[in-house]
Amino acid sequence: MTHNLPDLDTYQTQGYLIARQLFCPEAMAELQSIVERIHRQWAAENGDLIRANRLLNMHSLTDSRYFKEQAAERQTLFAWITQPAITGWLTGLFGDELYFHNSQLFFNPLDREQLPYWHRDLQYSTVTDEAQQSEQGQLLALHLRVPLLPECGMALIPGSHRRWDNHLEREVRFELNGHQKHEYLPGSVLINLQPGDALLFDAQMLHRGHYQSNSARLAFDICVGNYHPFTAAFLNKTVLPDQAEMAQLANHDWYRRAWQIAESLG
């Protein structure tokens, strides 16, 4: 399958790229089967947590705990994540220092009235907002979103990966002076995706989910980036393939770099 993929200049300007029908139906069916089984297991084990915290996503889908009786599925998922359609595109854009950081799955909240909220991913970490702002140009943390169902599921502020909040954006994001984090922000773009599409975006740009218009939602995110201490500190070895699994992968560069980073951190 040949694709006219969006280029780096477009990403540098807007902070996101959309590749239409990057994946064939067979590849999507394979991914959906694995991801839905993991999600069912996680939801069955965490029902109280999901309700108490009003969760709308889970992480670490490659963790070995989800594959105790499905070792072959874990191998398949690792290979899916590093298929040439993905690694070739991203390496062509950002070079050969990318590493696999984690994966996430986004779904509708149980409360259908729950409102989406503007954020930059690291604002929920211990890294101060001032430190995030100072490192904005040095931090490459990417999400590659692969929707398993049709969705109008993400709103972004184009260009916000290269600048920090204006006055209104800051007040909305932190709910200052009567503002709410779910408010409409000028300049936002709502992204429509179909299964087979991929949305690549900067995790530190201003963005929010958009779930109320989707009767069902299931979007698999592959998280990759370049080494930076702010993000590398969250890398967990349990989401990485072991040496035997890596030996079976045709393309393991992202995982090998992740292991190097994880081991350097102790």
165 within domain boundaries = yes
Say which CATH number the domain at 199 has: 2.60.120.620
Decide: residue 2, CB within 10 A, 0-12 exposed, 13-18 middle, 19+ buried: exposed
Tally Cβ neighbours within 10 Å of residue 33: 12
Parallel, antiparallel, or unpaired for β 189-193 and 16-19?
unpaired
183 within domain boundaries = yes
Radius of gyration from C-alpha coordinates of the chain: 18
pLDDT single digits (tens) 67-99: 999 999 999 999 999 999 999 999 999 999 999
Distance CA(250)–CA(155), nearest Å, equals 35
With beta carbons less than 8 A apart as the criterion, state whether 219 and 146 touch. Answer: yes
Write out the residue range of the structural domain in which residue 228 sits.
Answer: 14-265
* Closest CA relative to residue 101, chosen from 250, 266, 249, 221: 221
Phi, psi of 221, deg, nearest 5: -110, 130
Query: In which band, very low, low, confident or very high, does the pLDDT at 3 lie, cut at 50, 70 and 90?
Result: low
4 within domain boundaries = no
Query: In which band, very low, low, confident or very high, does the pLDDT at 109 lie, cut at 50, 70 and 90?
Result: confident
250 within domain boundaries = yes
Query: In which band, very low, low, confident or very high, does the pLDDT at 1 lie, cut at 50, 70 and 90?
Result: very low
Tokens linked to 162: 């290269």
Domain count along the chain: 1
Longest dimension (CA), the chain: 55
pLDDT of residue 6: 75
8 within domain boundaries = no
pLDDT single digits (tens) 153-197: 899 999 999 999 999 999 999 999 999 999 999 999 999 999 999
72 within domain boundaries = yes
What is the reported pTM? 0.96
Q: How far is CA 259 from CA 20, 31, 64, in A?
A: 32, 24, 15
1 within domain boundaries = no
Whether pLDDT at 5 is above 90: no
